[in-house]
Structure 1
């Protein structure tokens, strides 16, 4: 694969993942709640099967599922964007890391603004913070993998 093809593929994957995030954000509140409610039920059923007498605060658990989804989805974005920036710049340094995280933060902000125009949804600054932490964690994870790869 040529360098140009590697760059194109890396950026295509990052942009495609942004498209996935956009589709989740475009879901109206009822559809989004149905999706996270289904995941919540699956998790609660699993926990109940393992710990039959567990008493869980379902509202708190639902909040953790929703915010955990933000963190995880943006963690994947952090990995993909850092990989694309790394391939484009050709080096792994603090600037590469910060540029990648800045791209993710900018996208998180635009994502929350987008949600302000979706019926039943709202843009939330705390979601931008969670998204930022997820992106940074994903980028750190990628950095760790890449650093251990280089060390060998």
Structure 2
């Protein structure tokens, strides 16, 4: 196990597993993925309704607010966008950690890992375009890119701190 971790294979396996999960997820329609029923059961008392009602913004040309979408759709929006950011956070970090032992250059590895994650995000949105009941959004690609970039920056910081402690 340590060798898999040391040479990056474990991290690359995690990145490819995330890609497979994303591909499967993008193959489903919005109705198949909707978590509104679950949210209605779990959040039936609509916690923080008063505070959340004051939030309103535009995302991809559409108003996002409780007034426009209802409480549960509004909460689901944040769950979905959090999933975008989080999955690409894992993918970006895994790609960076998986490629670093092979490339041995922090800046080059960071660029390649980020471009690979963003490229996959673009392909994922294209896949959604050809899947019925889905809406591909450039804004989602940017959200995915920020998740991957955040992970890569955190991994670089962690690597530099770890390297300094060994001297």
TM normalised by structure 2 equals 0.74
Residue 64 of structure 1, aligned match among 75, 78, 87? 78
Question: What does residue 113 of structure 2 align with?
Answer: 100
Counterpart contact for 1:14–1:80, Cα < 8 Å = yes
RMSD over aligned CA atoms reads: 2.6
Partner of 2:160: 147
| 2:121/2:145 contact within 8 Å kept | yes
Larger Rg: 2
Alignment-derived partner of residue 115 in structure 1: 128
Q: Check whether the contact 2:29–2:134 (CA below 8 A) recurs between aligned residues.
A: yes
The aligned length equals 146
Where do 1:29-68 residues align within 5 Å?
Answer: 29-34=30-35, 38=38, 42=42, 44=43, 48=47, 54-56=50-52, 57=66, 58=71, 59-68=73-82
Distance 1:45 1:140, change over 3 A: farther
Q: Match of 1:128?
A: 141
Unaligned stretches of 5+ in structure 2? Answer: 53-65
* C-alpha separation in 2, matches of 1:4 and 1:140: 20
Q: Does 1:19 align with 2:20?
A: yes
- Pick the structure with more strand per residue: 2
Measure how far apart 1:16 and its partner are: 1.4
Cα pair distance change 1:106/1:46, threshold 3 Å: farther
CA distance in 2, matches of 1:65, 1:77: 18
CA deviations over 1:95-150 (Å, ceiling 9, x no partner): 21111100000000000001112120122111101100111011112112212111
